[in-house]
Amino acid sequence: MKRTLLLSLVLLMAGTFLFANGAEDGTITVGSNIYSFQDNFMNGVIKPELESYAAAKGIKLEVVDSEGQQAKLNDQVDIFITKKVDALAINLVDPAAAAAIIEKAKAADIPLILFNKEATEAGVMGSYDKVWYVGTNSAESGIIQGEMMVADWKANADWDKNGDGKVQYVLLKGEPGHPDAEARTLESVKAFKDAGIGVEELALEADPNWSTQHGNDKMAAWLTSGFAGDIELVICNNDGMAFGAITAMKAAGVRLPIYGVDALDQALTHIQDGELDGTVLNDGVNQARATLDLAINAAKGMGITDGTDWVIDGPATKAVRVPYVAVTPDNYEDFR
């Protein structure tokens, strides 16, 4: 009897020791990446939230920088697989490369959560039963941004500087081919057309890094161009580029209506200071949390949304969609 009791105590202590020490104790390990640490939103919002939420959930998270190179990301995924992580949370560099990443995860039988950049190849999500996506409805941010701009245009007759009833605009676009950049560009301008307001594009410049420097350089060039006096509106696919455009306008002593997307804290300050007319909350906090919640459930072999409020939108995309929200001078304080 004493022997049995002693053996039980030894086993209990051994189990407690294992539970308290490293991955062998059942701690979930997630291998993740950010497509580029140079991206204001990804590195400034999603990455820190992934890290803090992982700590709160008691999981081990490793986040690496893919430096805007899909080949580098492919190698990083191979390393994660060699390390035998329990789940992958991957921010694609190239959305068209999803099939290759999915195939790697499938071959290793590791659950995969793609986030923020959705696969562009039709049907690829159906090729593996342990892959899901967390992101947004790409068109929604452009629609909301467009609706804000249309409402403000109608409320400010003096914005139509030449009185021709049309909006002469310049547009700072994000990464060419990125679903968000393409949808935001299309829908933001389409909102004017849908409202019966004419539009004229004076210039459009894209940047694969969505960078503040790009916004500054292009806006500065436009403000010294032959059409500088004709610009009535500045549309930006993200806040980072809007920050650069604002800096260029301030340097030139110019104030033009300008809108972004992301609702970064600096954007809220620019709205407070009367330098930005609106932005759209790209809810990186909840994107990060949904990504890890799904990764944890998948690693445990549970139902993918068990114990959460997340909803999968359908069997084709297998996606959790986090909604966008309009942020204006009237409500920006709510997003501090």
pLDDT by residue for the chain (336 residues), tens digit each? 333 333 333 333 333 333 333 345 689 999 999 999 999 999 999 999 999 999 999 999 999 999 999 999 999 999 999 999 999 999 999 999 999 999 999 999 999 999 999 998 889 999 999 999 999 999 999 999 999 999 999 999 999 999 999 999 999 999 998 889 999 999 999 999 999 999 999 999 999 999 999 999 999 999 999 999 999 999 999 999 999 999 999 999 999 999 999 999 999 999 999 999 999 999 999 999 999 999 999 999 999 999 999 999 988 889 999 999 999 999 999 998
| Coil, helix or strand at residue 302 | coil
pTM of the predicted model, to two decimals? 0.83
For residue 207, the Cα-to-chain-centroid distance in whole angstroms is: 16
* Per-residue model confidence (pLDDT) at position 3: 38
2-136+284-322 has which fold? Answer: Rossmann fold (3.40.50)
CATH code for residues 139-282: 3.40.50.2300
| Separation between Cα atoms, residue 240 and residue 39, nearest integer Å | 8
Q: Which two tokens stand for residue 76?
A: 């990083």
For residue 162, give the amino acid letter. Answer: N
Report helix angle 138-155 to 179-194, nearest 10.
Answer: 30
| Separation between Cα atoms, residue 238 and residue 250, nearest integer Å | 19
Looking at the chain, the domain(s) classified CATH 3.40.50.2300 span: 2-136+284-322, 139-282
Q: Where are the alpha helices (DSSP H) in the chain?
A: 2-19, 40-41, 47-57, 70-82, 98-108, 138-155, 179-194, 212-222, 239-252, 265-272, 284-300
CB 76 within 8 A of CB 96: no
| Separation between Cα atoms, residue 260 and residue 238, nearest integer Å | 5
